[in-house]
Structure 1
């Protein structure tokens, strides 16, 4: 059984590819267009005739002509294999065996191309035709190993190409593995070995073939930390049976380039079944107390992703994990708070800097976590860190990527009674000078909106639903004057009219340019404008249902239902004009809870929403 695996292929193997795919080819080496055409068509007789013709015409040996290349450094063998012309490929190899390990501008040999095309015939033929020192044909077990160790510009061997292109013919990969088992462990430029690819793609026959092969101990294979462990591929594939097969190989190299064990990796992607499988095996490599290069344990990694089930699983097998700290002195809740996860719990614990989870969530601008923590009665929102700062001090002093996040955090802390410490060792951040031009643009926009609303409502006030009576004694009076819905229409129109006019007047005053006056204008005029829009919507619903109710009662009901649903939806952004409030009143906090969560959700990046 294999105990050590290779990390990289020898750099001296194979033929170096040109530095650039589009690099020009010397005229002397450039393939004749007639040969190129015949190689694409695949007629052996015509190919031989053209080859003899060119040889006589240019006085060149046939082997030299066959070694000529296209603009992309493809030999005629590359071309024949690309088009699947097996008989022609056999003829070319028989005439010039050295072509079999020539590479094109992408570093591909003809065998790379055959593996990519899942061409079993040419793979078998190439393995049987590899030239030895004497030029004699050899069987599969004696095939030239250097051919299979040639890597292209992606760092892929022939075996890589077969697996990357999902080769379904088991015989292809089995032939390649049997010819040179060591290649199964060579990583490409992505750090993925053929064994890793097979484990990730659930190719059980490939893993079994690799497991049955033997790599001699005297090869002294060095471990390359940049190679991705095959067990991580099995974890990424999320197949328990495959994971157990890879574990059965007992490969020593289990840590990746970041020092993460398989348990770290399974925890990082939320693979609970994988974590359970790894924990069930008594192996030191999967020790839950191993730290990665960042100093994090598997339970910290699970907390970063908010994977509660995995955290619970790790706590079941080692309850002391709840007290384990990272190299920064952070417990699992610190880590969860820092990475914006609110579903992992240690409430008032401090790290080395004296920061509680609330400090860290504030510092890293995670309003969702701050809100969650402030609603927990066990959290002391006024604890200070080593700098003498409370979370509120940090909220008003730390520059966050978005000011809206900062505002949400400030609101959540203020409404729960958080206050500055008064003895902070960090000097307060000087306030920014307000941008008067931005304020003026906002004022002008809102003034235009409020004016438009007032104009629409004014027109609606003289265009009554149903029209007016034209006969005495009620001439000029609204036809639906005595209907309740009409009363509702008039009242809503009146409210919308005067609140929009009042908002417009306030915004006109804000045009004077005084910043304090502008701020006051926003605080008073925005709710008025919101109320105006709400009343206008309610009036529209009442008016439309009124004019259709006499003849189509069902249509009036539909209009009323749609209106109620839309008004309820409109009430949420309307409440957001007032709430969440900085008031510590418990009732107001409960009213503002869900609107606050909506604001948090709306302000998060799409990536965070997807993760949650």
Structure 2
């Protein structure tokens, strides 16, 4: 709604008082007291000695302002009749006498006569852009509000500097004292179009604030008295049906679909229809309400060419996606594999934005095609994989930037202790400001990785062996530099393993009790043989690995790379054999003891750690390319299992229970 200065041309000659004169013409305390008491006799005798038109308070209020604010009818009537120029004067906040009457006074006979004789005052605005009717509504002054709107009904639609009209404020206040009823019953018809014939007046819609408060009663009241208000739009919120759909206000959507049916065919600034906005929210009931009235959702495409399933998949509303997929085949079929202007299907969008639940529901539906490519020739899996890589790079860069900023912060604040003494230092100040972007990227990355894992098992294109195991070789110079560092590390490990196993061969494990039976002695000998075999094997293997490394390093440098690969495998094998020897020595130590439970625990722990070692050693033995593929599969298994356990289960169970309840009631 345009401000009154823009939409209505009103010319009022304002009698302003120069600042220099105001400094010398302040209202004295006695005169102020006479006005407050409405003592007309004393007031007349004292005011005749002064220039009444120039007397003001520090904030620029004239005597008439003061008289109106205190409801002094006799003095108000006297001043208005004797000094009519005071009627149009505004104070330092540009308040007229009607503004003060609206905030502090009553609709007395004098005020009514002033309104009748000076109708232009009702459209005057103060520094906040408020008309007197604004102030009357804000202060719940029902008497003055009713008077003003009955004389000039259109003022109810004028906006202040915040874009709020008196009607908006009345709705926002919850129709206190029935002021909204007066504004609606006595109000003029809302000007749907401006004088030039195009564009609705800008401002905040009273219908939108009623929807925000989820107040169906006020909505019905507005619809009954001023139905044209339902057509108002707000920038960024769209029309009333858009807004009710966005917050999931079911009762409001039902009313608006019945009384403002045409609103369902209007688009907002984003190019979305209300049914699209409903799919953004988490209210399945609102989507159901739309589909009951419009059982042809394929006809509703936003400016990107996206249907309601595109929008639901984009915003990750699993409940809405699930509801749409459960609808009749004729209704759903045109939506499932439809492409937007970028060639993306709903599955593409769910994969791109990392919407785990929506992706799972779509990919598990047999009607959804998994390998459609978009305009950039990406399948949903490839799109999600590429997005996860970008997100990972952003996360790493953010981490590096934080490290650099922390170093700069530490260097700048490395002041001597004497300088920072008695000063309070907020150590968390920098971290609080810088942590949020990194945490957001981490959450996005986790969602994307989980989405990639879902698609990996359900919609991953088949790859050839060359694609799975690409031949990637480092430049020879770089490979030699890396091998030199690895040779040093491996030599240290081989020497340590050889030293430990040599010491174990010298000091063999012994039985605690020498008086055991022949059966125990036989078991001891068997365990000792196993111990010696593994210990000597680990010693020999580690020594051979060390000799191979030294041989290649000094005699044949060009064989250094295969030598490192062979030695790595041998060192890993020696470590496993050393652990096996340790296990046999523990069994010998426990032989003949009565701690059966302790023996079982030791054996179980030993087996668990043996398999753990094997899992860690295995990647060192197998080729690098195969190792990468294996690690990728294991990670996808982990994230997929995590999704099924914590996310899908927690979402699926409540929905399943609600379905069972619904069937039971039916």
TM-score, structure 1 normalization: 0.56
Residue 233 of structure 2 aligns with which residue?
A: 256
Is the contact made by 2:241 and 2:256 (CA closer than 8 Å) also made in structure 1? yes
The structure in which a higher percent of residues are helix is 2
Which of 398-407 and 264-273 deviates more?
398-407
Change (3 A) 1:182 1:46: closer
CA distance in 1, matches of 2:79, 2:649: 70
CA distance in 2, matches of 1:378, 1:37: 89
Is the contact made by 1:267 and 1:310 (CA closer than 8 Å) also made in structure 2? yes
Name which of 156, 163, 167 aligns with 1:191. Answer: 163
Which of 259-268 and 369-378 deviates more?
369-378
The alpha-carbon deviation at position 404 of structure 1 amounts to: 0.9
The alpha-carbon deviation at position 344 of structure 1 amounts to: 1.7
Change (3 A) 1:388 1:121: same
CA distance in 1, matches of 2:339, 2:362: 14
Change (3 A) 1:582 1:271: farther
Change (3 A) 1:69 1:254: same
Is the contact made by 1:69 and 1:75 (CA closer than 8 Å) also made in structure 2? yes
Residue 309 of structure 2 aligns with which residue?
A: 333
Residue 391 of structure 1 aligns with which residue?
A: 384
Task: Report Cα offsets for 1:334-374 as digits up to 9, x if no partner.
Answer: 22343443332255443211223343345446566556656
Q: Secondary structure at the residue paired with 2:442? A: helix
Residue 518 of structure 2 aligns with which residue?
A: none
Residue 53 of structure 2 aligns with which residue?
A: 64
Residue 542 of structure 2 aligns with which residue?
A: none
Task: Report Cα offsets for 1:69-90 as digits up to 9, x if no partner.
Answer: 52x3333333444456555545
Q: How many pairs were matched up?
A: 410
Q: Secondary structure at the residue paired with 1:28? A: helix
CA distance in 2, matches of 1:109, 1:269: 40
Change (3 A) 1:209 1:291: closer
The alpha-carbon deviation at position 16 of structure 1 amounts to: 9.8
Residue 487 of structure 2 aligns with which residue?
A: none
Task: Report Cα offsets for 1:399-458 as digits up to 9, x if no partner.
Answer: 586331343134213422435899xxxxxxxxxxxxxxxxxxxxxxxxxxxxxxxxxxxx
Task: Report Cα offsets for 1:549-597 as digits up to 9, x if no partner.
Answer: xxxxxxxxxxxxxxxxxxxxxxxxxxxxxxxx96478798445535468
Task: Report Cα offsets for 1:156-212 as digits up to 9, x if no partner.
Answer: 211122222333x3x332211111122122222333322333344443554355434
CA distance in 2, matches of 1:273, 1:240: 7
Name which of 284, 295, 313 aligns with 1:308. Answer: 284
Residue 98 of structure 1 aligns with which residue?
A: 85
The alpha-carbon deviation at position 302 of structure 1 amounts to: 1.2
The alpha-carbon deviation at position 328 of structure 1 amounts to: 0.6
Q: Secondary structure at the residue paired with 1:273? A: helix
Change (3 A) 1:272 1:43: closer
CA distance in 2, matches of 1:599, 1:310: 23
Residue 593 of structure 1 aligns with which residue?
A: 644
Gaps of 5+ in 1: 1-5, 19-23, 131-141, 423-580, 601-612
Higher RCO by CA contacts (8 Å cutoff, separation 6 or greater): 1
Matched, 1:409 2:447: yes
CA distance in 1, matches of 2:166, 2:154: 10
CA distance in 1, matches of 2:266, 2:455: 41
Matched, 1:164 2:138: yes
Change (3 A) 1:47 1:368: farther
The alpha-carbon deviation at position 294 of structure 1 amounts to: 2.2
Residue 592 of structure 2 aligns with which residue?
A: none
Change (3 A) 1:156 1:598: farther
Residue 274 of structure 1 aligns with which residue?
A: 252
Is the contact made by 2:304 and 2:340 (CA closer than 8 Å) also made in structure 1? yes
The alpha-carbon deviation at position 387 of structure 1 amounts to: 1.0
Name which of 343, 359, 369 aligns with 2:348. Answer: 359
Matched, 1:9 2:4: yes
Is the contact made by 2:344 and 2:374 (CA closer than 8 Å) also made in structure 1? yes
Name which of 144, 151, 154 aligns with 1:179. Answer: 151
CA distance in 1, matches of 2:85, 2:648: 69
Is the contact made by 1:348 and 1:379 (CA closer than 8 Å) also made in structure 2? yes
Is the contact made by 2:353 and 2:448 (CA closer than 8 Å) also made in structure 1? no
Change (3 A) 1:44 1:27: farther
Task: Report Cα offsets for 1:378-407 as digits up to 9, x if no partner.
Answer: 666654321122322233236586331343
CA distance in 2, matches of 1:80, 1:362: 70
The alpha-carbon deviation at position 28 of structure 1 amounts to: 1.0
CA distance in 1, matches of 2:307, 2:441: 28
Residue 296 of structure 1 aligns with which residue?
A: 272
CA distance in 2, matches of 1:598, 1:583: 21
Is the contact made by 1:192 and 1:227 (CA closer than 8 Å) also made in structure 2? yes
CA distance in 2, matches of 1:256, 1:175: 29
Residue 528 of structure 1 aligns with which residue?
A: none
Name which of 145, 162, 185 aligns with 2:119. Answer: 145
